[in-house]
Amino acid sequence: MELQLIEKSDHDLFVQNLINNYQVEGVKPKDGSFIYGSIKAPEELCLDFDCTLISPKKYFLPPKEALLQFALTPDSEITPLIENDPFILFGVHPYDIKAINQMDRIFARGVPDPHYLQRREAALVIGVDPTAVAPRSFWADMGASTVSEGFDLMFTDMGEHFIVEIGTNRGRNLLEEHAKLKPATTDDARERVRIRSRISHICKKRGFAFPKRDIPKLLEHSWNNFLWEEQASKCLSCGTCNIVCPTCYCFDVEDHVDLDLAHGERIRRWDGCLLQDFAAVATGENFRETRASRYRHRFFRKGHYLFEILDDLACVGCGRCASGCLPDIADPVNLFNKLKEG
């Protein structure tokens, strides 16, 4: 593992250099919370946030994205739109990186999806270790306190300076070209471990009352548990838990036509399995008609179905769903603990 050190006083310069040379996206405060947005000046960039409203998945799978462009005349060419403008995504917490790593696998598996993959390829990801824990986060218990891949650089705030872990050659080049560096010592490395475990320890206050690897097994025996009905009776089918989740990626596809009725685009936009019509087909049949079946599906997807594909739980413990759910029924910690209790 290769570590470098940037003095806090040199940090703005680094960010400014990046802004001068790249499109930089990063975390900014908004109304007392945080969102990802475009960074135009170093002071806009915030690295001591607890959690953002929407995860950085929006950069790779935008809420709405044109896939194809076409003319309505016969024979006309259909042009796929694939975005691959390079950009820097500065300030991604390890749990979100873990989620991106999962998405990478989903979109590369089977028939690869270049619309996603090219965007992903175009991004330089600069991770940052959390300095604060959002009230509903439990990433530490999900094994997402640190990640070993999925970033080009990883920053850790050490008070006076940042320690930067180099993840890729792209990251190294970026750093060497634009930052004033000092070598990090083994003491620095040890201190970084300490800082990381301290924050991770705070996060551990929330978590499962049992080992998380038992979740798939637990679910296997819970299909008919009364909890699904009971909890889902409060579900608003508002899809918030889907939209904010970094590991949810379902989408809908639609054709949009210009007013001249001669040109159009095929777009995809985020969909959510909690929404009423998610599995409804033209005949009127709805394969997940009840709130309970949709609610249960989400937890099975996180804790069981995707496990079969990823060999990992499709929840990274960010807690976004928990804090966004108005009736407060979307929290995986509460739900799985309740299921375990029986």
Partner 1 sequence: MNQPMLEDSPYLPKWAEITRIEQLTESEKLFELRLVSGEPLGHTPGQFVELSVMGIGEAPISVSSAPAENGVFELAIRKIGNLTTAIHGSVTGDRVGIRGPFGTHFPVEEAKGKDLLFVAGGIGLIPLRSFIRFVLDHRDDYGEVIVLFGAKNPSERIFLYELEQWGNREDIVYLDSVDKSGPGWQGNVGVITTLFSKIHVDPSRTFCIVVGPPVMYRFVILEAKAKGIPDRQIFLSLERKMKCGIGKCGHCQINHLYVCQDGPVFRYTDIFDLEEAL
Partner 2 sequence: MEKPRVAFFDFASCEGCQLQVINLEEDLLKVLEAVDVVTFREAMKEHSDNYDIAFVEGAITRKSDEERLKGIRANAGVLVALGSCATLGGITCLKNFHDQEYVRKLVYGDKASHYETYPSRPLNAVVPVDFKIHGCPINRDEFAMVVKALLLGKNPEINNFPVCVECKMAENICVFEKGMTCMGPVTRAGCGACCVTEGSFCWGCRGLVDDPNADSQREVLATHGLSVQDILGSFRLYTGFSEVAK
- Per-residue DSSP letter, 304: I
Q: Which two tokens stand for residue 292?
A: 């309970």
Q: Which of residues 60-119 bind partner 2 (CB under 8 A)?
A: 63-64
Q: Contact 241/332 with Cβ under 8 angstroms?
A: no
Q: Contact 153/181 with Cβ under 8 angstroms?
A: no
> Which residue stretch of 91-99, 106-114, 153-161, 329-337 sits at the interface with partner 1 (rule: CB under 8 A)?
106-114
Per partner kind, with CB cut-offs from 5 to 8 A, the member of ligand FAD, partner 2, ligand SF4, none near residue 195 is none
State the DSSP string of 195-240: HHHHHHHHHTTS--SS-GGGHHHHHHT-TT-HHHHHHHTT-----H
Per partner kind, with CB cut-offs from 5 to 8 A, the member of ligand SF4, ligand FAD, partner 1, none near residue 236 is ligand SF4
Q: Which of residues 303-332 bind partner 1 (CB under 8 A)?
A: 304-309
Q: Contact 152/122 with Cβ under 8 angstroms?
A: no
Per partner kind, with CB cut-offs from 5 to 8 A, the member of ligand FAD, ligand SF4, partner 2, none near residue 193 is none
- CA-CA-CA-CA dihedral for 148, 318, 198, 195, to nearest 10: 50
> Which residue stretch of 201-209, 231-239, 248-256, 321-329 sits at the interface with partner 1 (rule: CB under 8 A)?
248-256
Helix 291-300 vs helix 332-341: crossing angle, to nearest 10: 100
β strands within 129-188, DSSP E:
153-157, 161-166, 182-183
Smallest separation, CB 282 to partner 1 (Å): 4
Which amino acid is residue 286, in one-letter code?
Answer: N
Q: What's the rounded Cα separation, in Å, for the pair 300 and 219?
A: 7
Q: How far apart are the first and last CA of the chain?
A: 44
Q: Which of residues 298-327 bind partner 2 (CB under 8 A)?
A: 324, 326-327
Among 199, 164, 128, 154, smallest CA distance to 10 is for 164
The binder of partner 1 chosen from 14, 49, 138, 249 (CB under 8 A): 249
Q: Which is nearer to partner 2, 64 or 201 (CB)?
A: 64
Q: Contact 60/120 with Cβ under 8 angstroms?
A: yes
The binder of ligand SF4 chosen from 329, 335, 336, 339 (CB under 6 A): 329
Q: What's the rounded Cα separation, in Å, for the pair 154 and 164?
A: 5
> What would the x/- binding string for partner 2 be over residues 219 to 258, using CB under 8 A?
--------------xxxxxxxx--xx---------x-xx-
Q: Which of residues 242-281 bind ligand SF4 (CB under 6 A)?
A: 244-247, 274
How many residues in the shown chain lie near partner 1 by CB under 8 A?
59
Q: Which residues bind partner 1 (CB under 8 A)?
A: 67-68, 70-72, 74-75, 78-85, 106-107, 109-115, 118, 223, 249-255, 257, 261, 264, 266, 268, 271, 273, 278-283, 285, 287-288, 293, 297, 300-301, 304-309
Query: Which residues contact partner 2 by CB under 8 A?
Result: 30-33, 35, 53-54, 63-64, 233-240, 243-244, 254, 256-257, 259-261, 270, 272, 275-277, 291, 324, 326-327
